[in-house]
Structure 1
Amino acid sequence: MSPTSGPAADSTAPISLCAREPRVPAERLVAEMVPPPRFASARFDTYIPDPDRPSQAEAVRVLSAFADGLGGSGERGRRRWFRKAAAPSGPRGVYLDGGYGVGKTHLLASLWHAAPAAPEQKAFGTFVELTNLVGALGFQQTVRTLGGHRLLCIDEFELDDPGDTVLVSTLLGKLVEAGVALAATSNTLPGKLGEGRFAAADFLREIQGLSAHFRPLRIDGEDYRHRGLPEAPSPYTEEDVTRAAERTPGASLDSFPALLGHLSRVHPSRYGALTDGVGAVCLTGVTPVTDQSTALRLVVLADRLYDREVPVLASGAPFDRIFDEEMLKGGYRKKYFRAISRLTALAREGKSLVGAEKSTGKSA
C-alpha cells in the first residue's frame, strides 16, 4: 500500500509483528502451494535472458519443452500420463542450478503456469514449505496429497540436516513412483547438497538418490535485482522509520532485536501468515546477526517478504552487513547472499515510504 499523503492525514498506529502469533491450518498450507504474488504473472515470455549468458535462453527452451512434455488434459489423459511415467527410465525432473538473482524462481513459476494441468494438479512451494507440509499432514498423507499431482515445483532446494535428507529422498522417490514430475531450483548441484552443513558423506546414498531424479540445468549470470540499478539506500534514522510507519497504512513497526527474538518462538512455516495484510515492514536498530540459527530464521522471513512484495524500511546497519564474514564463508553462505540480495531489493522499494512522508512537509 502507498502511504497516506498530505499534512492533514491522520496518524495510523503501526502493526507490531511481535504481537502476532499466527496459527496456520494444514489445509491452508496445501492451498497456498502456488507461485507467490511476486511471481503470479511470471511467464517464459516475460523472462528477459541476458544476451551475454546463453544458458539463460537455453533454460527457457528446455523448460518450455519440459512443460510441453507433461502433455494431455482431462482425466483420461492424466491416467495415460501416469501409466507412462510409472516406470521412468531416466530423471523425472529438472533441476535449475545457478547463483542468486539469475531468475530461477521466475523460470520455475513460469513452468508451473505453462504446465498443461489444472491448478489443483500441480504444486509450487519452497523446500521449507514442503518439509513443513510433511510435518503438518504426516508423511503418508503428504504422499497421498501430492501423489495425485502432475507436477511438483520446489524452490530453494536445500538440505540443512540429515533428517531432511532422508525425509525428502524418501518422499520424492514415492512421488516419482506415482508419476509426479519434479522441478527444483537451488544454488547447489544435487550431488553436492548438504556439503558444509553436515556430514554429507554419511548420507551419500540418499543424496545420490535425490540426484538421480533430476536433470541438472545450469543457469549463469549476474543478480538481475541489482543489474544496472543504483546502490541500495543507506539506512535511515530511527525517527524517519518511525514516522514513515505511522503514516503508511498497514505498516508494521518493530525493533530488529525484538523481532529476531519473536521469530525464535514462531515456526518458520508461519512466517508468511505473520506478514498477512502487512503493507510495509519498518525496523529500527538493525544490527549484524552472529548466531546461525537466528540468521537462518531471518533468511526465511526475507524470502516470505520478497515473495509477497513487502517493502522494508530500516535504521541501523545496512543489509549488506547483516551477516558477519564468518557466516558468509560458511556452508550456508548462498542462503545468506540470497537474503542480502532480496532485502536490498526490498529496501530499495521501501525508499519511497520515506520520500512520500517527507513530501508532506514534515522534515526528519
Structure 2
Amino acid sequence: MTEALCDRRPEPTLERLLADLVPPPRFARARLDNYVPDPAFPSQEDAKQRVTEFAAQLGRPQGGGFLAKFRRRPTAAQGIYLDGGFGVGKTHLLTSLFHAVEGERVYGTFVEYTDLVGALGFQRAVDLLGQSVLVCIDEFELDDPGDTLLMTRLIRELSDRGVAVVATSNTLPDALGEGRFAAQDFLREIQAMAERFQVLRIDGEDYRRRDGVTEIVSLPEGTVREHAQAQEGATLDDFDDLLGHLKTVHPSRYGSMIDDVPAAHVTGLHGLSQHHDALRFVVLVDRLYDREVPVLVSAAAGEGGDDAEVFSDLFAPDLLRSGYRKKYFRALSRLASLAHDGAGRLGADGRAGA
C-alpha cells in the first residue's frame, strides 16, 4: 500500500535538529567556483567577490601570543546580509561560504533556528552556536515580530562572541526598490548592531526560468496514482488532506516528514485563498525543493481537469499582492521546477507520459 505524508508525524530529536544544521542536499555541491554570475547583472559578480574575500578573512589567524591573554572578550564579528530576489543565487553563495570556511560552522533556515531556540532555550542555544566560526541563516524572515526580535537578539549575542553571521532574504526581482526596503527593514530591526553588517544587493532573474521551467505541470490523476503505486517509498496524498495534516505538524518538522521519500504525489491540487494554508504549503514546497524530491501533481476537477497540462492560479491574486508575496512567488517557481522533475520521472521510470 502506498504511504501518504498524512501518515507521518515526525518527532525529531535534539540530535536530529543539530545534525540538520548543514546545507540541504540540493546545495551540497555549491561552491564559489561553480557560481556563474549573469553578466547582465554585475551585482552578482560583485557579491561573489565579496563573499570570497569574506571567506578568506574568516580563514586568517586572529592572533595570539602574549597579548591574547589580556583580551577580555572577542572583537564583535562582521557579517553579510545578501539581499535580493529569489533565484539569483543567494543560497548558492551562502552554502559556498559554508564550504569555504574551516572550523565549526552551522547552516539553517530562519525557522530551523527558531525551533532550535525553542528546543534548547535561548541561552543554551547561544552557548552552543557561540562555539562556531560562522552561522549561516537562509531565508531570514521579517513576517513575525516576535520571531524577528528573537533572531536579531540571537545574532547580536553571537556577533558579540566573535561569531560571523551571514543571512539571506527573498524579495521580488521585479519590484522596484523593494529589495532595498527589505534590507532597510532588517537593519532597522538590528539597529544596535547594524554597523556590523554589510548589505550586498544581488539583482537578476530567477535562474530556473533560464531552463524554461515557468509553469506547474499537471498530469492526469490516474497517471499520478499509477506512478505512486509503482515507486517504492513514494507518497500519495489528496491535496485537501495534506493541507489538513500540515496544520498538525510544526513547520520545522516538515523536513523530517519527507525523509527517504523518492517522489511525492499530490492529487486534487487547487487554488488557495487563505494565508494559513498557503504559508504552510510554501514551507513544505521549500523543504521538498531543498531535498530535491520530485513532485507529480494532478489538478482538481474544475481547476483544469485531467486533460490540463499546466496548472495556474495556485495562490489567489490577493495573496500575491500581500506582504507574503515574495514567499508565494518563490514557491511557484520552486513547485514548477519540482513538477517538471516529477513529469520527467515518467519517462525515466519507463512509464507512459500524460
Same fold (TM over 0.5): yes
Matches of 2:30 and 2:125 in 1, distance apart?
Answer: 27
Give 3-state SS (helix, strand or coil) of 1:314's partner.
strand
The question of whether the paired residues in 2 share the 8 Å contact of 1:36 and 1:307 is answered with yes
Does residue 29 of structure 1 match 2:17? yes
Does residue 232 of structure 1 match 2:215? yes
The question of whether the paired residues in 1 share the 8 Å contact of 2:108 and 2:137 is answered with yes
What is the 5 A alignment of 1:108-119? 108-117=94-103
What is the 5 A alignment of 1:66-145? 66-72=54-60, 86-88=74-76, 92-117=78-103, 121-145=104-128
> What is aligned with 2:31?
43
Residue 286 of structure 1 and its aligned partner are, at CA, apart by 0.4
> What is aligned with 2:140?
157
Structure 1's unaligned 5+ residue stretches are: 1-12
Give the TM-score normalised by structure 2. Answer: 0.87
Structure number with the bigger relative contact order (C-alpha 8 A, sep ≥ 6) is 1
Matches of 2:187 and 2:40 in 1, distance apart?
Answer: 36
Shift in alpha-carbon separation, 1:363–1:71, aligned structure 2, 3 A: closer
> What is aligned with 2:175?
none
Does residue 353 of structure 1 match 2:338? no
Structure 1 letter corresponding to 2:23:
P
Structure 2 letter corresponding to 1:111:
L
Matches of 2:123 and 2:181 in 1, distance apart?
Answer: 28
Residue 110 of structure 1 and its aligned partner are, at CA, apart by 0.1
Matches of 1:235 and 1:190 in 2, distance apart?
Answer: 32
The question of whether the paired residues in 2 share the 8 Å contact of 1:14 and 1:250 is answered with yes
Matches of 1:30 and 1:52 in 2, distance apart?
Answer: 39
> What is aligned with 2:333?
341
Matches of 1:187 and 1:210 in 2, distance apart?
Answer: 21
The question of whether the paired residues in 2 share the 8 Å contact of 1:127 and 1:154 is answered with yes
> What is aligned with 1:181?
164
Shift in alpha-carbon separation, 1:205–1:48, aligned structure 2, 3 A: closer
Matches of 1:85 and 1:341 in 2, distance apart?
Answer: 45
Residue 75 of structure 1 and its aligned partner are, at CA, apart by 11
Shift in alpha-carbon separation, 1:231–1:175, aligned structure 2, 3 A: closer
Give 3-state SS (helix, strand or coil) of 1:326's partner.
helix
Matches of 1:310 and 1:230 in 2, distance apart?
Answer: 16
The question of whether the paired residues in 1 share the 8 Å contact of 2:41 and 2:204 is answered with yes
The question of whether the paired residues in 1 share the 8 Å contact of 2:84 and 2:179 is answered with no
Give the one of 243, 246, 250 matched to 2:226: 243
Residue 212 of structure 1 and its aligned partner are, at CA, apart by 4.0
Q: Percent identity?
A: 51
Give the TM-score normalised by structure 1. Answer: 0.85
Matches of 2:247 and 2:122 in 1, distance apart?
Answer: 25
What is the 5 A alignment of 1:237-316? 237-316=220-299
Residue 51 of structure 1 and its aligned partner are, at CA, apart by 1.2
Matches of 1:277 and 1:75 in 2, distance apart?
Answer: 45
Matches of 1:192 and 1:85 in 2, distance apart?
Answer: 34
> What is aligned with 2:174?
none
Shift in alpha-carbon separation, 1:183–1:319, aligned structure 2, 3 A: farther
Q: Alignment length, in residue pairs?
A: 336
Structure 2's unaligned 5+ residue stretches are: 172-177, 304-309
> What is aligned with 1:4?
none
> What is aligned with 2:324?
332
Partner deviation per Cα, 1:88-136 (whole Å, 9 max, x = no partner) = 3xx710011111100111110000000132xxx1000001111111111
Shift in alpha-carbon separation, 1:225–1:233, aligned structure 2, 3 A: same
Shift in alpha-carbon separation, 1:175–1:355, aligned structure 2, 3 A: same
Matches of 1:183 and 1:204 in 2, distance apart?
Answer: 13
Matches of 1:328 and 1:211 in 2, distance apart?
Answer: 30
Structure 2 letter corresponding to 1:103:
G
Matches of 1:55 and 1:363 in 2, distance apart?
Answer: 41
Matches of 1:84 and 1:57 in 2, distance apart?
Answer: 39
Give 3-state SS (helix, strand or coil) of 2:204's partner.
coil
The question of whether the paired residues in 2 share the 8 Å contact of 1:226 and 1:345 is answered with no
Partner deviation per Cα, 1:257-310 (whole Å, 9 max, x = no partner) = 100100000011110010001000100000111111111111111111011000
Give 3-state SS (helix, strand or coil) of 1:321's partner.
coil
Q: CA RMSD in A?
A: 2.7
